[in-house]
Chain A
């Protein structure tokens, strides 16, 4: 008689696969801190930069990412105020200075740190084509530009978790 194979248990977290789909500073930092934090615990980590998330590895854009002041309830300000000129720049400046106080590096240095820590950085092919970007416009230490299917295939072991940011 054939027995149905029991599903494998999820196991401890052995690999974190993060999908970054937005490039506001708050989302980018959340993603980078989660990836770096995994490596610090000896957990593998990979990031897939897709749609607007690709801006975080776009050389021209990555140093100029902003905090979203409109549509961000955690800003605790009326939406109309968030849309005023200069408001995003102010919030961004404040966030960057707070981050530096906590020893959290700016985006370009953070990318170097992630690479050096063994985090795999993948650009999304569809997003790259959509934004008409060339390889040389993307961060030099990117591990490659791949499709979503290629990324899923890298979830190759028990204890792999995937997170959409």
Chain B
């Protein structure tokens, strides 16, 4: 149960089925990660989910070049590992990129 919704997650807390994602779930995961979600956070989450739907592999470099946010801003929004934390909130798999 996350955010009052029953969902399936893996050992590390990533959703295993993205179709189960709801904004309340994202909110609840963010709280656990110590993040207070703002519009800027949600803009990034929307972008990540869109990339996931298009099956584009994610990297910090790509996010930085997306025009949605620059790398500095990305780290400011999600300080404890931006790509991992934001992917978890977005309900998409843990990124495998080293970049």
Contacts and interface: CB of A to CB of B under 8 A. Distances in A.
A28 B86 CA distance: 29
B62 A103 contact: yes
A117 B71 contact: yes
B5 to A, nearest CB: 27
B71 A40 contact: no
Contacts of A116: 64, 70-72, 75
Contacts of B72: 116-117
B81 A103 contact: no
Interface in A18-42: 33, 36-37, 39-42
A105 interface: yes
Contacts of B64: 113, 116
Interface string A96-132: 0000001111000000010011100000000000000
Contacts of A113: 60-61, 64, 71
A117 B74 CA distance: 9
Contacts of A103: 57, 59, 61-62, 97, 99
Interface string B66-99: 0000111001000111111100000000000111
Interface of A: 33, 36-37, 39-42, 102-105, 113, 116-118
Closest 8 CB pairs of A and B: A42-B80, A116-B71, A42-B81, A116-B72, A41-B81, A103-B59, A37-B98, A103-B99
Given A40-B84, A42-B81, A116-B75, 17 more contacts: A36-B98, A37-B98, A40-B82, A41-B84, A42-B80, A42-B84, A103-B57, A103-B62, A103-B97, A105-B99, A113-B60, A113-B64, A113-B71, A116-B72, A117-B71, A117-B72, A117-B75
Interface of B: 57, 59-62, 64, 70-72, 75, 79-85, 97-99
